Amino acid sequence: GENVEQHPSTLSVQEGDSAVIKCTYSDSASNYFPWYKQELGKRPQLIIDIRSNVGEKKDQRIAVTLNKTAKHFSLHITETQPEDSAVYFCAASLAGNQFYFGTGTSLTVIP
Amino acid sequence: ETGVTQSPTHLIKTRGQQVTLRCSSQSGHNTVSWYQQALGQGPQFIFQYYREEENGRGNFPPRFSGLQFPNYSSELNVNALELDDSALYLCASSFLAAGWETQYFGPGTRLLVL
């Protein structure tokens, strides 16, 4: 089955700096890659997703890039703010069926 | 916030007991997936239901079972509870059609097995 690895496990940045989280996947058939943000005690919330026919997608301060050849995708957050502090999960799936999640990155934005 | 709801929010059971967790999917969605999230880990896929049929299953034993009803709500049943079953159980709903469907999570049920 699919295996998703996520790095780093923890990340601290100064407010205003950029944060980058990287994930790799093993199954070349995976074609959908969402990113979720989970605040303490709350549900995972979708922040951005990318499909395999697209190399990059941006939504305000958040962007995701996908390299199908290397089988990795990354989340980029620019101009970080304290409210960006949370755990971020990447996931990979085939046609929206079974989602395989990474182990999470705990992001801390220091004011 | 999504329209996905789950009940109960918290539950305490003892080892060997059985538990039923419930999920109401977002309006217009026809698919429900269940995940187990242990503390400090990412969600692990249990199974998915599409139009009342199981549509994929993760690496969980048969004592984890489920149902989906005609209104697309769903139940997760766990028999013979073990201490390691203590976790946050999340359901996620989506509209399965041509593929690439986004899943929206409910708030979860936190289960503690003593």
Considering only CA atoms, which of B92, B95, B89 is closest in space to residue B108?
B89
Q: Which residue of A has its CA nearest to B99?
A: A95
CB B20 within 8 A of CB B79: no
**Cα(B6)–Cα(B19) distance, integer angstroms:** 14
Nearest by CB to residue A98, choosing from B41, B56, B104, is B56
Number of H helices, E strands in chain A: 0, 11
**Any chain A CB within 8 A of the CB of B9?**
no
Q: Is B85 helix (H, G, I), strand (E, B) or coil?
A: helix
CB A67 within 8 A of CB A25: no
Are A96 and B103 within 8 A, CB to CB?
Answer: yes
Are A34 and B45 within 8 A, CB to CB?
Answer: no
Non-local (6+) Cβ contacts of A21 within 8 A are A6, A7, A8, A11, A74, A75, A88, A90, A105, A107
Residues from chain B contacting residue A98 (CB–CB below 8 Å): 33, 45, 48, 56, 58
pLDDT by residue (tens digit) across A48-83?
999 988 899 999 999 999 999 999 999 999 999 999
**Cα(B87)–Cα(B109) distance, integer angstroms:** 8
Are A46 and B104 within 8 A, CB to CB?
Answer: yes
pLDDT in tens, chain B (114 residues): 668 999 999 999 999 999 999 999 888 888 999 999 999 899 999 999 988 999 889 999 999 999 999 988 999 999 999 999 999 999 999 887 655 578 899 999 999 999
**Any chain B CB within 8 A of the CB of A54?**
no
